[in-house]
A and B are shown apart, each in its own frame.
Chain A
């Protein structure tokens, strides 16, 4: 694509999310969502083939439906409160519809079906933008309306998302689908603690974005989209193999890596609010996630996977420029000792 046009489109994506995060008028927020959606479509279809077209169509349809539901909730709220300012949602119906709309945008169960299909259909770079940047806007709105969200619905969606994210990712050999199911599960963790302590949602979001960025950068670096091609990285770049191991374990939430921090804080917060069964269930279901990350590390890093001699030298005709990979790796694995500094987020 023409670099100038591509820059304009990316700036529009950025602007859309910024408008959503910084507006106090409901209509501006909706406009921000629409700008974001319309501008991200050419980004998703950057490498055109029929599969990308199908994935972009599915993304557009689900997100447009979510925007319509959001608009309906905004108007019901306007009817009952008489004002457009985003404070709390005054009507329970509007609150439920808005929660569903934002869940659809985020990919929470039961609106998660589009996430693996769309992520699988697009290129790795577009998938990266989809699973990280696109989560910021809906999460910021959930943060702002968190006092008036129906707790039962939100917690049900959260727990089901963790379960579906773990169960669905169990037998995937396609890396993009694995990242999609991992995204569903992490969104579940984030929304579970939203009503109790929204700051932890933001913390989880930050650490999730860092880890997902790192993972995608490593996949782009080794040009691998399946488990099998990832398992040949020990031949090409053994260092990448080690980094994949560390990042995947961090995503699974193992101490002493940074991925453990949000899970620990969330379980602590939920227990402080006299909720015992829920965090137990969540922690158990996080093991499903860990299982398929471990499977990936087993074939990639922990074993020297057999390959035919030709596979050893996988030619890459262009050198991949990976921006900021070392700091990302450090931040996604070594941040746990900084946990006492979390008080700055309040």
Chain B
């Protein structure tokens, strides 16, 4: 408790915030910051502001004491807003990435020599070792349709994993048109090149998805979307289940890509198609198991590899009765 008090004071002084009231201490323990600001690291003091700290310390005592949550930017501290600088930085960033793109083209696919890319048998695609890794993911829940589930994403202990946690609630929103509710999802952002060009992953030399996760026993669904230019195909995805064990031990989940089944607009189709791996856009984890209550999923990394023992191309058959068009 004393440590928290000291940390709080330290944080607030450096950020020129008023001291939090004593009454707010019990609340701070349960106050989870959102994913972008969950570490207890003290921000490094800005050199320009160091000299003015001593002056403001005296002022702080006289300030009206307010509830301030950890790590949220203090209202007094206004961030520097410079439109020109922001535009220049953005342009510089994009041109830098374009230059890297062109230089990498000479080296080989994805900036590595061709033989290295061809000989690769395992690749870690997403790992969670810092804040910037969390920025590659979007967390959604049925709040978008008016439901009451909540989902958050933050870095786990020692910055070695990501923790997706929250509460699932299957109370349907009372808007007259939704009959079901209660889902949370974590979806990866589509990879972008210079000038926000859409890129895609090419996993055609791999055949299995590898996930190192630690869950709470809930069944999750892994969804993969392909890169497409047609609007109608944005609703199509390939899914499979991931059953978590919920123990203290990490779980290695290996899902071959041949097992993924096709669904369109959330419905599994009679006509099943193979997941083609040369233009993968994003992967997502969804929880919608109709069980209300808290959940969590800790993810260490997500990778793809070639399993030489797995020779299946596609696990599902199409039926001539249900889909005669496919057999004409």
Chain A residues proximal to chain B, CB less than 8 Å: 1-2, 5, 48-51, 54, 57-58, 117, 120, 167, 170-174, 226-228, 231, 295, 299, 305-306, 308-311
Contacts and interface: CB of A to CB of B under 8 A. Distances in A.
Given A171-B109, A173-B204, A51 B226 contact: yes
12 contacts: A49-B273, A49-B276, A50-B262, A170-B106, A171-B109, A171-B114, A174-B202, A174-B204, A226-B205, A226-B278, A228-B204, A306-B119
A50 B233 contact: yes
B248 interface: no
B118 to A, nearest CB: 5
A231 B306 CA distance: 16
B236 interface: yes
Interface of B: 105-106, 108-110, 114-115, 117-119, 202, 204-205, 226, 228-230, 233, 236, 262, 273-274, 276, 278, 306, 308-309, 311, 325-326, 328
Nearest to A54: B230
Contact of B308 (A2, A48, A311): A311
Contact of A170 (B105, B276, B306): B105
Given A173-B204, A226-B204, A227-B114, 18 more contacts: A5-B328, A49-B274, A49-B276, A50-B236, A54-B228, A54-B230, A54-B233, A170-B106, A172-B109, A173-B114, A174-B278, A227-B118, A299-B114, A299-B118, A306-B119, A309-B308, A310-B308, A311-B308
Contacts of B118: 173, 227-228, 231, 299, 305
Contacts of B204: 173-174, 226, 228
Contacts of B106: 170
A299 B278 CA distance: 20
Contacts of B228: 54
A226 B278 CA distance: 10
B121 to A, nearest CB: 8
Contact of B108 (A2, A50, A171): A171
A73 to B, nearest CB: 28
A51 B276 contact: yes
A174 B200 CA distance: 14
B267 to A, nearest CB: 15
B46 to A, nearest CB: 43
A237 to B, nearest CB: 20
Nearest to A309: B308
Contacts of B114: 171, 173, 227, 295, 299
A227 B278 CA distance: 12
Contacts of B262: 50
Nearest to B107: A171
